[in-house]
Amino acid sequence: MATHFVTSEPAGLLKAFDAKINQKEAKGKITTWEKAQDGHYTHKATEWAKKAWFKPNVESGQLTFNIIKPQNQNITVTVYGYYHGHLLETFLNHFDQLFSVGNVSALPEKADNVGKTA
């Protein structure tokens, strides 16, 4: 399962996401996602924190987020659905002018690492 954002500026969209996570001003700040030192993103809510990670991939014409499982743990269907749904919601709420289409694949794609889903 991957989330894709069709955009003419995929690197710029990723940079805008980082900027909203890191901004100091509370208004418009993204508070539900955090970026790890390795460049992967995870959810910050206590119930969902570090249950999965997103690896961003800047591609020609789109920004893709592939899901990565935590060490020694598989990703459940519930986590997989929540992470992708919330990422899409975040981008719609903050960056609707920076992409034309956002979509989520129903099943894992080649670059995803989910282990066995339950």
The stretch 92-103 carries a mean pLDDT of 97
Q: 2-104 adopts what CATH topology?
A: TATA-Binding Protein (3.30.310)
pLDDT digits (tens, 9 = 90+) for 36-90: 999 999 999 999 999 999 999 999 999 999 998 888 888 888 998 999 999 999 9
- 118: pLDDT confidence band, cut at 50, 70 and 90? very low
pTM of the full structure? 0.90
The DSSP secondary structure of 46-102, one letter per residue, reads TTTTTS-EEEEEEETTEEEEEEEPPTT-PPPHHHHHHHHHHHHHHHHHHHTTT-SEE
